[in-house]
Amino acid sequence: MPLVVVDHPLAQHLLTRLRDVGTPPPLFRTLAKRLTIALILEAVRALPSVEVEVQTPLETARGRTITPDLVAVPILRAGLGMLEAVTELFPEITVGYIGLERDDATLRPTSYYEKLPPMDGRHVLLLDPMLATGGSATRACTSIAAKGPAQISFVCVVAAPQGVARMEAEHPEVPVFTAALDRDLTDNGYILPGLGDFGDRLFGTEPHLGAPPNP
């Protein structure tokens, strides 16, 4: 399983701002979108393209277009923070959704929603900002793989070694694209140093891990 850490200076700048506990939700959303663009550009680098001819206002010109029929699948809810960047880059992309919720006691994911388009022969960008234990990522990959896609690429903001190892064991054919391979997991499955609960920080729903206590 290829693990690609996108170490472009801009990607690392955006990631550092996302990690900062003082970054408020509106800015967090903007930074997440911009970082996703950097990650997706790397994730689609190897996709096949074909040469085409187009008419400019002055004359015909040759260029290249990406040929695969792309599908974006965010894992709800945090993956929604990455979706807008993908649809802006590829306005004609098809979108599916997988809803997974992690049990705080067992750290295992349970499914509460799934809506996927036809996948046969298509290239899938699976979006989830945090690859922690790998439970949600591998379960989503299993659901998508059963529908016969040509390729699945998993795109995340940060990854833990445990999640990467699980992806390697269960879905070695799926490349993982991330901005950072972090150090470890806490006992309750949060990535260290990580950036707290991505969904909570994205939507401002509750104090995230590491936030200063209320006065």
Q: Which residues are catalytic?
A: 102, 106, 197, 200
Comparing CA positions, the residue from 179, 192, 193 lying closest to residue 5 is: 179
| Residues of the chain by 3-state class (helix, strand, coil), percent to 5 | 30, 30, 40
Distance between CA 161 and CA 18 in Å, rounded?
A: 20
3-state SS assignment for residue 164: helix
Among left, alpha and beta (phi > 0; psi -120 to 50; other), residue 175 is beta
- Token digits of residue 56: 């400019």
**Residues in Cβ contact with 58 at an 8 Å cutoff, skipping those fewer than 6 apart:** none
CA 114, distance to chain mean position in Å, is 17
Comparing CA positions, the residue from 190, 188, 187 lying closest to residue 201 is: 190
